[in-house]
Structure 1
Amino acid sequence: MRILLLGGTTEARELAGLLAGEHHVTTSLAGRTRAPRWPDGDVRVGGFGGVDGLAAFLRAERIELLVDATHPFAATMSGHAVAAGALIGVPLLVVRRPGWSAAPGDEWHRVASLAEAAVTVRTHRWRRVFLTTGRQGLSVFAELDECWFLARSVEPPDAPAPRQLRVLLDRGPFTVDGERALLAEHRIDVLVTKDSGGSDAKLVAARALGVPVLMVDRPPVLAAPTVPTADAAAAWINETAFDQTDTGWSKP
């Protein structure tokens, strides 16, 4: 099977490795990270040029299955995948790790967006803020001059950024002990993060220290078959045969 894997996540790299040798897999990376972790199989870097560009690529490369294993907050790319697959009749499988759930002892404040998170920080008068929302989201906090921010990302943040800002360039996985030490050292009042799932070391550390968490909710779930792990995706792909008909693709 010829598979296009929209990647950039741990699950995407794992899935590419699981499928190597069984299928022809091309992983697409957005190209926003200068030193990405390279997956097995073929790799392309850069955008497609919207829905029409992605559809043209699927057609030109004779792709038989499109797999969206992007970050849970890559809503634009995920939307393009749904539309392009439907446009030319290529089936779509979504790989989404489960989100986080609050546990006893957590003080979580769920918000719908980063903009709402910034308003909530100001409303609660939190002054020392730990941002783990990625480098592209710092601009919404740029006008909170009364706050001091610690931001962690793989790449340097985009401008504009908060005036009082310390940036940690680092890549996980992180340990609970390390996260506790970081929160304590910088006297953090609130942790701001996205509900991306995966390792929850920072959430466990925040719970232990009584640090509130601002949790940004995920975009809406896609209307497509969805599995939670790379193993589940590989099983789904290897156990599924697709029949092409006059009206598109159908699972027997």
Structure 2
Amino acid sequence: MLGGTGEARSLAAALVERPDTEVVSSLAGRVRNPKLPVGDVRVGGFGGPEGLADWLTAEQVDAVVDATHPFAQRISASAAEAARRSGVPLLMLRRPGWSARPGDDWHWVDDLPAAARLLPTLGERVFLTTGRQGLAEFADCPGWFLVRCVDAPEPPMPTETHLLLDRGPYTVDGERALLTEHRIDVLVTKDSGGALTVAKLDAARDLDLPVVIVRRPPTPDVEQVPTVAEATTWLTRVPRSRH
């Protein structure tokens, strides 16, 4: 299982209880202290799709579940290619994205550069929750930025930045207080979906704040399900001991 998400941890927990199933969760290793799933865990890359295909064959893997983050585009593409090369069945487990509700002021963009270009029209004090790896796209933006991420980012980043190291889950009350304390004008996020970080959207709605949301990248043409239960059902249909 290619993991790193709450869904991946939930699926691993369900599968390790089965006496006939061996689960290996693979994490990219980009977070210094990740929440680890139960069962066997490996950390680090495979060396591209060729390396992953070789590993799947060598380890006699019967099935692969891509339960990575919705914006982990590179590993999902590698998983699809590795599955094709090795002949191992692949399933993508992707939680649904967020949907706007009455009162939301959402502005959809295709990528981080588009979000950076839009910001000056919406506000001067920005709550940026797009992760530490894309901060360079906002380095030349005017204004003041509250940047929240799990691990400390490296420059470049916006000139006026207040860094907040934290991880979800968050509460609506807590997010509302944070937005109010820092006098935030606009929230920027990715369409990650899920319940762990949705509270910021509820708080922004309560405070009538605009939200810039980055659309998800396209996914490979592979079978896809939105829930852990459906992934579990899919795995029961995969033939065992292909090798």
- The TM-score range, normalised by the shorter chain, is over 0.9
Superposition CA RMSD, Å:
1.5
* Structure 2 SS opposite 1:177: helix
Paired letter, 1:237: L
Paired letter, 2:125: R
Normalised to the residue count of structure 2, the TM-score between the two structures is 0.95
**Structure 2 residue corresponding to 1:165, chosen from 153, 161, 184:** 161
* Structure 1 SS opposite 2:23: strand
Aligned 1:1-252 pairs, distance under 5 A? 5-22=1-18, 23-122=21-120, 124=121, 126-144=123-141, 146-199=142-195, 200-238=198-236, 240-242=237-239
* Cα distance, 1:244 vs structure 2: 8.9
* Cα distance, 1:222 vs structure 2: 2.7
Matches of 2:213 and 2:85, distance apart in 1: 35
Matches of 1:57 and 1:204, distance apart in 2: 43
* Cα distance, 1:221 vs structure 2: 3.0
Q: Can you list the C-alpha shifts for 1:205-229, whole angstroms capped at 9, x where unaligned?
A: 1001000000000011331121112
| Conserved? CA contact 2:63–2:89, under 8 Å | yes
- Structure 1 unmatched ranges of 5 or more: none
Paired letter, 1:19: L
- Structure 2 unmatched ranges of 5 or more: none
| Conserved? CA contact 2:62–2:241, under 8 Å | no
Matches of 1:204 and 1:125, distance apart in 2: 18
Matches of 1:179 and 1:202, distance apart in 2: 5
Matches of 2:176 and 2:17, distance apart in 1: 42
Q: Can you list the C-alpha shifts for 1:160-206, whole angstroms capped at 9, x where unaligned?
A: 11110011111100000101111111111110000000121110110
| Conserved? CA contact 2:10–2:228, under 8 Å | yes
* Cα distance, 1:142 vs structure 2: 0.5
Matches of 1:34 and 1:243, distance apart in 2: 35
* Structure 2 SS opposite 1:6: coil
Matches of 2:23 and 2:240, distance apart in 1: 20
- Count of residue pairs brought into register by the alignment: 239
Normalised to the residue count of structure 1, the TM-score between the two structures is 0.91
Structure 1 segments of 4+ aligned residues over 2 angstroms from their partners: 241-245
Paired letter, 2:183: R
